[in-house]
Amino acid sequence: MPKPLIGITLGCKFKDQDRWFAISETYVAAVERAGGVAVLLPALLDDEALQGARQRLNGLLLTGGADVDPALYGGGWHPKVYGVDARRDATEIALVRLAAQTGWPFLGICRGIQVINVALGGTLYADLPEQLGSRVAHWSEEMGHLVQIEPDSRLANLVKASEIQVNSYHHQGIERLAPGLRAVGWSPDGLIEAVEVPGHPFGLGVQWHPERRLDSSQHLVLFEALIQAARDGWQG
């Protein structure tokens, strides 16, 4: 059987008058190490292209990056919001909704979990230090923190533990959970750090960056599970 094709969403950067698509190679490395083939998805997909991606790709990986536009979840502007790109927001929200509706296996990382929540009707904290407090240094990857995991969740079954040590580098996070999502992981200050789509073949979002922790089986297994779900969907 050919290796599953996993679409990876690209970030957007601007240099002078040019707009660039870019992504850390760690996402590609994670997909390939887990047994998949990475296919890069630019933030310029129209409806026809979205449907084509759904038909040809076996799974979807939503990557980290800049902030989601607060207008998309009814939030006010905040001076710490940065890097908003309307085309990326629109593309990724459409991909999430398509994945949720059709059983397309997907994994969201950092910004990815936030996009999942917004796409399905939830809201975000615009800036965690100001709105949630600073008991946990979410913006300090070097420090990291523990995430408590719901025992009867898919995530707990994957990592084989009730808690996991994660890295942390974000200033936004889930405020109100979207209908249809289940919170399955929390940081010590109560922030939702992992979500699942109940009844979906594989719909998972995490606030941390497992692609930067491939030395740990607890983080690599998230990509392996995505690849396995992609294989199962192919067979089915």
Give the type of residue at 133.
G
Strand order in the sheet with 37-41: 37-41, 5-9, 59-62, 106-109, 203-206, 192-196, 182-186, 145-149, 163-166
Q: Which fold has domain 5-235?
A: Rossmann fold (3.40.50)
Structure tokens at 10: 């690209």
DSSP annotation string for 136-202 = S-TT-TTT-EEEEE-TTSHHHHHHTSSEEEE----S-EESSPPTT-EEEEE-TT--EEEEE-TTSSS
The full set of domain ranges for the chain reads 5-235
Q: How high is the mean pLDDT of the chain? A: 94
> How confident is residue 16, by pLDDT bands cut at 50, 70 and 90?
low
Question: Is 209 among the catalytic positions?
Answer: yes
- pLDDT tens string 39-68: 999 987 889 999 999 999 999 999 999 999
- pLDDT tens string 109-138: 999 999 999 999 999 999 999 999 988 989
The catalytic residue among 12, 92, 110, 196 is 110
DSSP annotation string for the chain = -PPPEEEEEPEEEEETTEEEEE--HHHHHHHHHTT-EEEEE-S---HHHHHHHHHH-SEEEE---SPPPGGGGTPPP-TT-----HHHHHHHHHHHHHHHHHT--EEEETHHHHHHHHHTT--EES-HHHHT-SSS-TT-TTT-EEEEE-TTSHHHHHHTSSEEEE----S-EESSPPTT-EEEEE-TT--EEEEE-TTSSSEEEESS-GGG-TTSHHHHHHHHHHHHHHHHHHH-
Question: Is 78 among the catalytic positions?
Answer: no
> How confident is residue 143, by pLDDT bands cut at 50, 70 and 90?
confident
User: What integer pLDDT is reported at residue 184 of this predicted model?
Assistant: 98
User: What integer pLDDT is reported at residue 235 of this predicted model?
Assistant: 62
Flag whether pLDDT at 26 surpasses 60: yes
The catalytic residue among 92, 193, 196, 211 is 211
Only one residue has tokens 């979990």, namely 113
When pLDDT is averaged across residues 91-95 and rounded to a whole number, the result is 97
Only one residue has tokens 């759904």, namely 54
Question: Is 110 among the catalytic positions?
Answer: yes
